[in-house]
Structure 1
């Protein structure tokens, strides 16, 4: 019965309006040189061991957190449609790219083995409405800080796009 309740939990869905054309916002999500400047929570940095942003491409990255240590993630780009949509998986790993369990990575026991993330980019006048949908419970995302990190990263990207 608890499994059904889990399935009915609200999944993570966030929208954000950027003051930039969608091609520029899309590029910030797909250019590794741009990603390293904003795609990490506050106080953290990200490095990409590998990244190939194309349909069927992969990435392997590490968030370096001075408080919580390293968080390695690998993923697969399932869809890359310029400048409209990105769909990619995120899987918790170690430095060598081997999958690790949720608790080993500091996540709740029931954190999904693979998180599917869908990003859509829609032009609204001179702005871009970005929507992110992630197959993870919104409550879990808020508890682990993932939800808050997305919001802060969007604000950091806002500042970069304005320069």
Structure 2
């Protein structure tokens, strides 16, 4: 193996490992994020067997996480003529990845939190005690802020990449 190939192999392994650690911060389990990183950096679509071999994981673990990545929209199944095996390839457009992760996190985390806040707010709206009013006010503030942040995230994730970068540059400049 050439020095360049060895360096590339090590860099890819480092990336896959670190992406797995980062994935846990986005609400994705480590193995799911590592599979995503592996597919995202692969030149060609990979089979379940290739994913298993590269990451040294079980068939069940690979299969479950590949199905979940497909459900999220981060990975798609690719058919190859004359092949019976399924091949998988990751979305490689960084802005699309951001948009997909944002959408999925909202659906899995923000929406249930908003529903809980709305329920708590509704059930405490008529409270007369100082403690009840303070609780209701705090919940309403959280509900308003999270609702606002969620709308901003939705709007940004639906923007074209270049336009979003221009707006961010203006805000941060």
TM-score interval, normalised by the smaller of the two chains: under 0.3
Structure number with larger C-alpha Rg: 2
Greater helix percent: which structure?
A: 2
When you count strand as a share of all residues, which structure comes out higher?
1
